[in-house]
Structure 1
Amino acid sequence: MKIPIYPLKFEPIYQYRLWGGRKLENLLSKPLPDNEPIGEAWILSDRKDHSSLVQEGDLKNKTITSLMEEYRYEIMGKNGLYYDRFPLLLKFLDCKEVLSVQVHPSDHQKELLPEGDTGKTEAWIVLETGDDSKIFAGLKPGTNKENLVASIKDKSVSERLHSFIPKQEDAVFIESGTVHTLGGTVVFEVQENSDVTFRLYDWDRLDAKTGKPRDLQIENAIQSINFNQGEIGPVTPVIDNSIKNSEILFDNNHFKVWRIKNKEVFKVGFIDIPTILVCIEGKGSMNYNNQEYNISKGEVMLLPAIIGQLELLPNDEITLFQITIPDKNFN
């Protein structure tokens, strides 16, 4: 007999990154691996090599991959026709040092994508900054293929990139084809379910684990770049009066993201659409089928489409991101 599905929380998957640090232990309750820089916590991932595990309940230790096989329409609703794996990948990043200068291909550049993979449009929400915080996003005017390649050879790439000093709560949209990197920040990242990254430049550093520089993919990166992209800065949030104390940060073909800060009861989720809740501060609870489901700082919860709307009761004030996947019919 099939186990009824319910609001699902997942275990974070920690990833070593040479540019990472130890700050994610302040955000997540799961202990970090000892004595190595942790750059990423994948908090919802339907990747073959890293599939998120359900944290509690009757489906505990099931992967999101197996759930998408068994409960695809319960999870995805009307979009179940179009997705056989969960289409978003969610992460927390601790960028103690600056990442490589990189770019991701678009969905349409099939020749650059592994079979079955997509392009990678992503977005960041800044959670923490420091004295050395910096975001590089987009190209300065006058940058073209020739002078960008030349700047890689003479190590002056940063002079070709637009940059700004981020503030806490800044939200930055990185469309596929945008040259980008960041450092000195902790961010939440939402992206297409893709791990396709092409490095243009890696600051001539060595990986402490291998003693060697990381590989660059300059030719593929150049092919992926949208040279008409221009300079990218923080987005302007849009107030959404349909959800109490909320603002829309991103709304595109791949994901829609709200930031909600509330002390009073409010509704989360939508009818026939999967919704993801990511708690950044505080905690709260929801009731579904006469059972209480709690969410607290650093946790992610997937509300399958079949669940619809729930009321969330904050314990004092809660800050969370609510994320949905647009109806594929209208893309």
Structure 2
Amino acid sequence: MSTRGTRLYPLRLTVTAKPLVFGGHAIARRLGKTGIPDWSIAETWECSDVTGAGGVVTDGPLAGRSLRQVVTEHPEALMGTGWSGRYFPVLTKFIDATGALPVHLHADDANAQRLEGQRNGKTEAWHILDAAPGATALCGVKDGVTTDRLRAALEAQDFDAVLRRLPVRAGETLYVPGGTLHSFGPDTLVYEIEQTSDIQQHAMRWNMEDGSPVGDAEFGSNLDMLMQQVDLETRPDFTPGLSVAVGDGVERVFLCAGPYFALERWRAGTAEPLRHSFATAQILSNVGSPVRVRTGAWSEELGRAETLLLPAACGEVEIAGPADVLFGYLPDLDRDVRGPLREAGHPLQLIGTLGGSTDTRAEAIRSANLG
């Protein structure tokens, strides 16, 4: 039965927990997330419209509806004026890299469509919530490495010979375009935001689901596909983000921004609540203590490491402090990112360091409409 006449409200979605071999117990024990299995968990998919792992609304009039059904039945109320995409375009996760992730890449849009038969690829960003002293990440191919040298190193599993190893610090963010070889961990806890996709190509001789060995024929085939998709020129770096003062004891930090997603971290003390107005759906994830969330007449507590999807129709949200939360969304880059940052005095060149922010929201909308 259609719910097209239902007024949208903040949506709680089911979470998919992934017990991959690099995981541990940090999402439950360090972030305080409840309701997930009491075994080694690598990822929790907080807001997902990936086929086969999509979120389902858990409460209210839309309970039992999948996120994809909500997008289909309430496109503009959920996503904002002018939206007509067929799926929710942003995926968010908590990732526990107690062990190191496999070295892998995700295709960009063009290669996903050309080689994988997928509607879009996967650009992503990592916001580091916690990392052990000396933690590092691999991201991007070293300058001057040829395709032949890269393949030989991947075959030998000699990743440091050809990939950049970067220092990892809590609070920093890395924007990772599709086609970029990467890995992070061990001892790293991440909030990841990305295009809605589970597309990937690995360069490992083991499977990340259970650690079982990958045979020579399969490994060679995997490398064949990976080498067709790898970008040898992309070498992203971590950034601390760009901050905007928005109230007494309230801080807004733009962590990353590009055509497919933007991510902000807001902190508030007790002098005044956090108040945020928006025109597109917001994925609100709590990375601090439990908080009280209000929008219109709706008011509920959001616990540790819990997530709410705030439809565009809500328009604004108020969160009482102390608060430490993340907002992820599909941006109109001029309205949602460049405008407030320029007003705060940040030059356009510096804003560009947040990611692919020279592009426009239209590119992401076109990608979503392919679905």
Distance in 1 between the 2:179 and 2:116 partners?
A: 13
Change (3 A) 1:146 1:255: same
Match of 1:213 in 2: 214
Match of 2:282 among 257, 260, 275: 275
Match of 1:45 in 2: 48
Amino acid aligned to 2:275: K
Match of 1:261 among 249, 259, 267: 267
Aligned: 1:298 with 2:309: no
Q: Aligned-pair distance for 1:28?
A: 4.8
Match of 2:369 in 1: none
Measured on the aligned residues, the alpha-carbon RMSD in Å equals 2.2
Q: Aligned-pair distance for 1:207?
A: 6.2
Question: Would you tell me which structure has more helix in proportion to its own residues?
Answer: 2
Q: Which moved more, 1:88-97 or 1:131-140?
A: 131-140
Are the counterparts in 1 of residues 276 and 316 from structure 2 also a CA contact under 8 Å?
yes
Match of 1:318 among 314, 318, 323: 323
Distance in 2 between the 1:208 and 1:11 partners?
A: 21
Distance in 2 between the 1:179 and 1:208 partners?
A: 19
1:279-319 CA-to-partner distances (Å, cap 9, x unmatched) read: 100232233342313223201111111111122222xx211
SS in structure 1 of the partner of residue 108 of structure 2: coil
Match of 1:124 in 2: 126
Match of 1:85 in 2: 87
Amino acid aligned to 2:315: G
Aligned: 1:64 with 2:72: no
Match of 2:340 in 1: none
Amino acid aligned to 1:256: A
Change (3 A) 1:31 1:323: closer
Match of 1:162 among 148, 161, 164: 164
Aligned: 1:237 with 2:231: no
Match of 2:24 among 21, 24, 32: 21
Aligned length: 322
1:235-263 CA-to-partner distances (Å, cap 9, x unmatched) read: 14112245741111111111111111111
Change (3 A) 1:79 1:43: farther
Distance in 2 between the 1:254 and 1:279 partners?
A: 22
User: TM-score, normalization: structure 1?
Assistant: 0.89
Change (3 A) 1:135 1:212: same
Change (3 A) 1:164 1:147: same
Q: Which moved more, 1:49-58 or 1:207-216?
A: 207-216
Q: Which moved more, 1:190-199 or 1:292-301?
A: 292-301
Distance in 2 between the 1:132 and 1:205 partners?
A: 25
Are the counterparts in 2 of residues 124 and 172 from structure 1 also a CA contact under 8 Å?
yes
Match of 2:116 in 1: 113
Q: Which moved more, 1:293-302 or 1:23-32?
A: 23-32
Match of 1:228 in 2: 233
Q: Which moved more, 1:65-74 or 1:209-218?
A: 209-218
Amino acid aligned to 1:95: A
Match of 1:249 in 2: 255
Distance in 2 between the 1:211 and 1:255 partners?
A: 34
Amino acid aligned to 1:195: D
Q: Aligned-pair distance for 1:33?
A: 2.6
Change (3 A) 1:207 1:222: closer
> Any unmatched runs of 5+ in structure 1?
none
Are the counterparts in 2 of residues 246 and 259 from structure 1 also a CA contact under 8 Å?
yes
Change (3 A) 1:106 1:208: closer
Distance in 2 between the 1:293 and 1:321 partners?
A: 17
Match of 1:32 among 16, 29, 36: 36
Change (3 A) 1:61 1:68: same
> Any unmatched runs of 5+ in structure 2?
333-359, 364-371
Change (3 A) 1:31 1:274: closer
Change (3 A) 1:158 1:79: farther
Distance in 2 between the 1:196 and 1:93 partners?
A: 17
Are the counterparts in 1 of residues 273 and 320 from structure 2 also a CA contact under 8 Å?
yes
Question: Would you tell me which structure has more strand in proportion to its own residues?
Answer: 1
